[in-house]
Amino acid sequence: MLRDRAGDKRQSARLLAVLVRSVAIVGTVAAAFGPAYAWLLLRLLYGERWSDTEAPAALAAYSSYILLLAVSTLGFPNPKPLDRLLGVVALPIPTRNGSP
């Protein structure tokens, strides 16, 4: 029984580490390339109507803001909200007797 709990904690820790790395990578890519390519993205997707307005500047600022949002949501001061988040998002892992 104790081994299963220790294994579950290790598996949860690995999952959290993967999620943190993924969020950091996505946020860094958005912050690195978003401001430079916001105008081009709007030009290709929506044409001159949107690319000649202030929309590229807003999209560039938002793409930098994504990194701040991603990192700040992972720094919970209390672990209880994170436990609740992982409990809602993660599927229960069935044990040997078939119950979660």
Q: Which residue has the higher pLDDT, 37 or 66?
A: 37
Whether the pTM exceeds 0.75: the reply is: no
The domain segmentation of the chain, as residue ranges, is 2-88
49-58 contacts: CB < 8 A, separation 24 or more?
Answer: none
Task: Say if residue 15's pLDDT is above 90.
Answer: no
- The confidence score (pLDDT) of residue 89 equals 54
Rounded Cα distance, 75 and 79, in Å: 9
**Average confidence (pLDDT) over 17-25:** 82
The pLDDT value given to residue 57: 92
